[in-house]
Amino acid sequence: MAEKPTHVDSFRVQNDRQRNQTVSTTGCQPFVLPAAESDKLERIIEASPALKKGTHLFHQGDPFMSIFVVRAGTLKTYTVTNEGEEQITGFYFPGEVVALGGIGNDEHPVSAKTLETTTVLEYPYQPLDSLAGQIPNLRTQIVSCMGKEIRDEQQMMLLLSKKTAEQRVATFLYKLSVRFKQRGYSATLFRLSMSRNEISNYLGLAVETVSRIFTRFQKQQLIKVEGKEIEILSLERLYTVSGDEKQSPEQSVQYR
């Protein structure tokens, strides 16, 4: 409702029709199709240039036009309370799909911003949706991505309302580890592309708390922290601390 500021830091794919250089989607698992169909899909994709740290892919309230897949780098998405408070709703690594919350809405419900130099693929939604009508496989994949987003957010709700600060940080690190491993990187040694501030915001904690827990975990020989470099010394114990471990042989706690 307020006047839209001109987002000088916004990225907009120039819609030049030089769609010859078939974009290589190497390293991106979403939307894998047999060659013939893959070709149709690639015809609608736009590759972004390298976006430097701090660039917005889109702002909350911008008209929803496309979804994006991260090729390299990291993104965060966040909403802003009308009280001006920011809440980070997710971090996105290569191969992950961003902006699904905009589907079925005329505007983006969140902003998306790069945490480091990042490149993305832009999938203009209208053509993508038409294609999805022709290619059942593609439809399934889009819808699956959305389903996963819903499940991830439900997990996050659980974290935010039931877990202690320690469990939150442990969960965060553990899940990062799993994601990195999936992408072929080390599960135990990696670099955090987000600041402590961003971590704390995402986890619903104060920066100081996250900092303290990092050092506490270090003292407990759970992890080794050196600035943004993290080494996980015991994935198992970290998982235990996270509170997600399945335990107690039988606890069919029926709510009533």
Q: Which residues bind DNA (CB under 7 A)?
A: 164-166, 195-197, 204-212, 214-215, 225, 227-228, 256
Are 121 and 25 a contacting pair, CB within 8 Å?
Answer: yes
- 101 vs 147: CA distance, rounded Å: 11
232 contact choice in DNA, a second copy, none (CB below 5 to 8 Å, kind-dependent): none
Binding residues for a second copy restricted to 73-112, rule: CB under 8 A:
78-87, 89, 100-105, 109-110
7 to 36: interface string for a second copy, x by CB under 8 A? ------------------------------
- 25 vs 120: CA distance, rounded Å: 10
Residue 201's contacts (CB-CB under 8 Å, 6 or more residues apart) are: 78, 86, 87, 88
- 105 vs 103: CA distance, rounded Å: 5
3-state secondary structure of 198: helix
Q: Please state the closest distance from residue 17 (CB atom) to a second copy, in A.
A: 25
14/161 with CB nearer DNA: 161
Among the residues of 24-164, which ranges form H helices?
35-44, 125-134, 136-162
Using the rule CB under 8 A, which residue among 12, 43, 52, 162 binds a second copy? 162
19/139 with CB nearer a second copy: 139
User: In this structure, what DSSP letter does residue 26 have?
Assistant: T
Using the rule CB under 8 A, which residue among 2, 15, 226, 227 binds a second copy? 2
Q: Please state the closest distance from residue 107 (CB atom) to a second copy, in A.
A: 10
- Per CB under 8 A, does 50 bind a second copy? no
3-state secondary structure of 179: helix
Q: How many helices (H) and strands (E) does the chain have?
A: 7, 11
Q: The tokens 């202690």 sit on which residue?
A: 164
HEC profile for 84-118? CCEEEEEEECCCCEECHHHCCCCECCCEEEECCCE
Question: Considering CB under 8 A, how many residues would be counted as binding a second copy?
Answer: 66
Residue 96 has which token pair? Answer: 């992950």
User: In this structure, what DSSP letter does residue 122 have?
Assistant: E
- 208 vs 214: CA distance, rounded Å: 10
128/190 with CB nearer a second copy: 128
- Applying CB under 8 A, the span of 16-24, 148-156, 211-219, 225-233 interacting with a second copy comes to 148-156
203 to 222: interface string for a second copy, x by CB under 8 A? xx------------------
34 contact choice in a second copy, DNA, none (CB below 5 to 8 Å, kind-dependent): none
Q: Please state the closest distance from residue 102 (CB atom) to DNA, in A.
A: 27
| Footprint on this chain of a second copy (rule: CB under 8 A) | 1-2, 5, 54, 78-87, 89, 100-105, 109-110, 113, 129-130, 132-133, 136, 139-140, 142-151, 153-158, 160-162, 201, 203-204, 243-253, 255-256
